[in-house]
Amino acid sequence: MAHEFAAVIGKNITVVGGQIEGSDNLLIEGVVESKINLDAKLVVGAHGQVSGEIEAEQLEVQGTLDGNITVLKIATLSTASQVSGLLKSPRIVMEDGAVFSGRLEMGTGLEKGR
């Protein structure tokens, strides 16, 4: 992975409840059941399991993600990803093999907090 991450939630870490906020790129390889609000890129790694209300500048999913998801720039669902819920993003890249179940809203009018 060619991204730099200021924060990593490792695959042996579980976060339940609360809220994760920040402006640095975040890689999640563990289990997170929480609200996430990032002014940066969120990557749900291959081992990552995330559920909750998510808002991020950019999103890349390689693992599992479930919830109400708002992405301000681009969402990428990688080959082995499994995503469910409501996904709002102006741009979506869905690789062959990615699984999506839910509702998709695309448009250019997405703003922070919507």
Residue 113 domain flag: no
Total of domains in the chain: 1
* CB-based contact 61:40 (threshold 8 Å): no
Specify the amino acid at residue 46: A
Tens digits of per-residue pLDDT, 47-101?
999 999 999 999 999 999 999 999 999 999 999 999 999 999 999 999 999 999 9
Q: What is the pTM of this model?
A: 0.91
| pLDDT-derived band at 113, boundaries 50, 70, 90 | low
Specify the amino acid at residue 96: D
Residue 106 domain flag: no
Q: Could you tell me the two tokens for 9?
A: 């939630």
Residue 34 domain flag: yes
Residue range(s) defining the domain that contains residue 61 = 7-98
